[in-house]
Structure 1
């Protein structure tokens, strides 16, 4: 959705006109930095920002990564994203390419900027075949894409580095709005009086679009002075006095800075000119969250945006080809990035009416779609996180650490554990402590309210259901015992497959999908958002064993040959199993009761 529409929708739907907020992130320079940023964006998603924006490096040096970040935040993280686009060293063909990629990813918001001068020259010059001013870029986007994009432009309450604040500068801003811009995001500032007076002048000039103040948190004294000097902004005496008194203590600086900015932001919100705050995060988390929390904007007990946040038990994509998607195999529950990559080429044929289509279609995707790395950590970071396991008990120990919240990810699991598993956590811990390595699970749920903060999803006033599900590794020599425990009049169904594709199953029709999560909602058909299905499980098997192979290669290259041999042995001697208890009504844990006989 376009930014201006989201802001208007909030004003119209919220009787209290609760202020909203957004976050800005910049493009990291390393692959590990990108992974860390995705994790941070994912956590900050929980605060319900209206949108995020991704910066564009001067001259488009990291332009491919900028567009990749935009696509991932839209498609995988489900975050409404605004992409910066500058004129600096950007001929029209590069601008066309960036706009096309944004359009294809479902991005509907562009922040059109002239951009800073390249650091190599320190002087801004129009490049050949490019634009001289942001208003020209705005006009070009409007001419080429009509009203598809909401276009934001920069505002300078205290003037531009190349021109002092003046009525002429506001006239330049009006020219950008007249060219087709829909909203304004301002440069950072610390003087609320200057900002509020500037807003008055903007409105008197006939500019009526939303004004969004750019808020720069204060994290250290040195960074505070450097940014204020670089942007040539006025710092009020009370800011300087309070911060100068604690400048040697970074923690105290952040605390005092939070107090000062909380007060400043409240003045902005009270002025009548502002309903939304844009946080310049600098790819950090705590400082922005502290300000928003003290302003009372992080209250979680209101359901204003709930339908936008949890329409499904998995993160809803904002990619235009996936907006009607309503079903996913449960196997990728903890690996949303790779699932979206696998199915990125799917068309409407593979999402008939939003349902999971023909998984045997070639469009289901090869591992090649995921690029060269299945493990989303650098080799050095992988060893830091998971050490170098030398025995199978070390692997189950990693899972125990994950279940206990001591690590946030695993080689085959990109996202942190949620509280959904609390009801079966003792069983999961016992299984791993006794040599059964669990990979994925969900508890039995029989008609919980859709508004439940842990299990709930979908529209309000509905009921959600789940079959108990468990995925785990089992030694091949225990497989026959497992089969005997499960089969014979049981409500349990399973698939088991090893790295050589030898498949075992007791499904009555292993070509059909088995719904393991569904919801009943007023005035709607039954939704079945997660399933267990054979062909997709075989694709997941391929991915899982390749993850182990890649992890082994990383460890071998880091000099941990014993660990590499362990993972090779696991691939050769273990079977990947998923099991479903189709009785979601009767009390008891029939999966655990069977598996405990294996140790």
Structure 2
């Protein structure tokens, strides 16, 4: 049995509880922290009734999905520059894990869209293969929350195969296709297979799918190397646009004059769709020569002359490549020839980021539209989604996976469901769920050995404080977190209380402070449109020993403002003091001309689904230690013996009492131990 209390520390009380002199927490009101309250009497309950009294339709993050080409056209008309990025599928599963982490960082710059190349070697249409082009594109859309365009080639396939690839693209949620012919082998064993071109595919898309897909096509600023002439290639490009292509992305080029002439010539023959310049930063001397040769492009003599003295200095070549790309793109943007840049990243990050920052295109995402990581209008099916259970707030990719088969997503309210259909995690790709931490990284973060319960507590405390542990390593994530980002910004409002909890064996995995009318622009708790006000009920989710859970259950009748749910790993304990099926809104917002938004709920039914995932995290943690070791036994006993508890303080305008109640729990439990 695990020892759950200790009195060895100097800052403990006589009953073994660590001290905290400021357990009550006043509700945060943003700019109103001078003691004034917003005066709102909204309690977050039955908000759907109040919704009917509002005049507007909530549209915090775009509402319905707007096709990519329409958004691009609007940005061009508004003279609002943007950028997009191209990537190719990684070759290995480990590479996929790194790839999605890199994309999460790229998303910080707010790209308009990304595209994924069609790699024949990846078995590109095999959705069950995690490195296939289709699988990677679906992952970018669903798990990185980026509007994604998939390259699809047709020369290697018969018509029926290409149509099947398009149908599979639609099935995984993709709405954007870059229609390409694809490379034809020099030695044609079966020339009849290669009779189709991009124009054929564009016509098929329009015939079969109408306006469902945004269609991109390729443009060649110096003409396609296989075209009879530059003029003939322009005429073929116009035929692709006339057939239904919405936009053109160009082949790479090295001279701004070349692109400017190409755009002029396109406009002269009646091509009016957006033409996006494709730019490949020079990142290595040999690599750019090889790519130019494959593309049958001529590198200007001035560039070769500048590179020759530094050809063996990779850093110098990279710096030159950044300067050249910035100068060329800046000219195109300032002249108005282009309103956007499409970067061929070669799956590299630093050079692309520097170029975009120099150009002023790398812009942080605006204020979050919802308190959780929403799709910001980038997902065809989830653009209207605006309600989620709070339990997955630190595992948004897991939530997306578990709800991937839903036909529609909650909009306006969560509602009552007797059987929410969450997918099982058994077949969840490990790189989505567990990220990149390998065994050694976890050991350095969580400890090479856990001798007692106190060692486990220290891991949680180090996560809250973000102070380095004894190995001089920060605990940037717990096993319940998907990303290495530490705690949320709002955690600072209850930081001391969370430290106190974890020091005393109340192991917290999710929380939010109470908020009473903070401006929607508040840097800590704000979300939604400017001019609104945000509200939250205090919430805490934690693991604790069954004795503490029993004491909590016994004293809760004295605290009717608290909603509680207690469950254990096999649900032999499953108790709540609220309705067993009714969700509770714990976050809501009031915005000008809109319905009241309630984007976060505590739902008892979803909690019973979440508990399996929450408890499995203990097993995953235990697995990094040898079988039979003290460390593994401690974590396995926590899994078997501790309860998972949620507490909601419904009286959000008053000081939070969750931590006071937990202090009373520990005092009572401590007295029973001493007796």
How much does 1:297 deviate? 1.9
* 1:58 CA drift (Å): 2.5
Report the equivalent of 2:339: 275
Q: Structure 2 vs 1, CA of residues 385 and 508 (structure 1 numbering), >3 Å: closer, same or farther?
A: closer
- The answer to whether the 8 A contact 1:158-1:164 is kept is no
Residues 375-401 of structure 1 deviation map (CA, whole Å, 9 limit, x = unaligned): 4347x8244345575325554444455
- Show CA shifts across 1:378-427 (max 9, x none): 7x824434557532555444445544284554432113343232222333
SS at match of 2:341: strand
Q: Indicate yes or no: 2:225 matched with 1:158.
A: no
Q: What's the counterpart of residue 87 of structure 1?
A: 154
Aligned to 2:421: 363
1:89–1:126 contact (8 Å) kept in structure 2 = no
State yes or no: 1:381 paired with 2:438. Answer: yes
Per-residue deviation, residues 468-504 of structure 1 (Å, max 9, x unmatched): 2121211223323444565513533221211121335
Matching residue within 374, 383, 388 for 1:328: 388
Please give the per-residue CA displacement for 1:552-575, whole angstroms capped at 9, x wherever unaligned.
Answer: 44655xx79555434322211221
Give the structure 1 partner of residue 8 of structure 2. none
Q: CA deviation at 1:116?
A: 2.8
Distance in structure 2 (CA, Å) of the matches to 1:413 and 1:131 = 50
Kept in 2, the 8 Å contact 1:126–1:132? The answer is no
Cα offset for 1:460? 2.6
Tell me which structure has the larger Cα radius of gyration.
2
After superposition, the CA RMSD in angstroms is 3.1
- The equivalent position to 1:590 in structure 2, one of 657, 661, 665, is 657
Q: CA deviation at 1:328?
A: 0.8
| Higher RCO (CA < 8 A, seq sep 6+) | 2
Query: Is 234-243 or 184-193 further displaced after alignment?
Result: 234-243
**2:372 corresponds to:** 313
**Cα 1:472/1:352, change in 2 over 3 Å:** closer
Query: 2:476 & 2:342 partners in 1: Cα distance?
Result: 28
Distance 2:110 2:199 in 1: 31
Secondary structure of the equivalent of 2:343?
A: strand
* TM-score (normalised: structure 2): 0.78
How far residue 294 of structure 1 moved from its aligned partner, in angstroms, is: 1.0
Per-residue CA distance 1:8-44 (angstroms, 9 max, x = gap): 12234x4xx1211111222112222222222222222
Offset of residue 326 of structure 1: 2.1
Give 2:482's aligned residue.
414
Q: Which moved more, 1:424-433 or 1:207-216?
A: 424-433
Displacement, 1:218?
A: 3.2
The match for 1:44 is: 106
User: Given the superposition, is the C-alpha separation of residues 265 and 371 from structure 1 closer, same or farther in structure 2, using an over 3 Å criterion?
Assistant: closer
Q: Report 1:115-154 matches (<5 A).
A: 115-117=182-184, 123=187, 132-154=196-218
Q: Distance in 2 between matches of 1:443 and 1:286?
A: 37
Unaligned runs of 5+ in 1: none
Unaligned runs of 5+ in 2: 1-65, 468-473, 671-675
Conserved 8 A contact 2:417-2:581: no
- Cα pair 1:450 1:461 within 8 Å, conserved: yes
Contact 1:475 1:573 in 2 (8 A): yes
Q: Which residue of 2 aligns with 1:6?
A: 71
CA contact 2:490–2:525 (8 Å) conserved in 1: yes
* Aligned position for 1:428: 498
Q: Deviations over 1:517-558 (max 9, x none)?
A: 1011112221111111211111100122223334544655xx
Q: 1:214 to 1:447 in 2, by over 3 A?
A: same
Does 1:22 pair with 2:84?
yes
Asked whether the equivalents of residues 25 and 283 of structure 1 are also in contact (C-alpha less than 8 Å), the reply is yes
Report if aligned partners of 1:52, 1:79 keep a CA contact under 8 Å in 2: yes
1:82 Cα deviation (Å)?
Answer: 1.0
- Offset, 1:221: 3.8
Q: Which 10-residue stretch deviates more, 405-414 or 532-541?
A: 405-414
Aligned mates of 2:633, 2:335 — CA distance in 1: 65
Tell me which residue corresponds to 2:44.
none
Matched, 1:107 2:174: yes
Counterpart in the other structure of 1:531: 601
